[in-house]
Amino acid sequence: MLYQGFLFYSELFKIIIDYKNYYKITSFLQHMGDIGYGIQAINHRYKVLGGKPKVIADDNKLDIADKLKVIFGDNYIGHPRLKKLIIKNAISDKDFLNGIEEAVTFEIIFNY
């Protein structure tokens, strides 16, 4: 049911455009400019579903993973970084999904 996935991304872009001047779009993922991650992956998936992604100015993007490397160095924590940061900082991972779990969940929810 691609229609549900399309609606999800349509609503996401409405939110991004409505609030684009108030906050930065963030990504914990590395290679935020790569089509497989972050904003580029969201844009690509929306295009595949037939949508026209909105352009998000680079000034409104913040790659948190990159900033942490700049501040603390490339080896500030091991891989997988987000999971290890969650553990190191005693943050609940109740709803955390690894990459495979996230893909399976997306397929189940949207019949993608």
Question: Per residue in 45-75, pLDDT tens?
Answer: 888 888 888 777 777 777 777 888 899 999 9
Does residue 42 surpass a pLDDT of 60?
yes
DSSP state of 35: T
Question: 11 is written with which tokens?
Answer: 């609503």
Task: List 44's β-bridge partners, or say none.
Answer: none
Does residue 44 surpass a pLDDT of 60?
yes
Task: Report d(CA 80, CA 82) in Å as an integer.
Answer: 6
pLDDT-derived band at 90 (thresholds 50, 70, 90) equals very high
pLDDT-derived band at 103 (thresholds 50, 70, 90) equals confident
Supply the pLDDT for residue 4: 60
The model carries a pTM of 0.58
Across the chain, which distance is largest between two alpha carbons, in Å?
44
| Containing structural domain, residue 7 | 2-110
- Tally of structural domains, the chain: 1
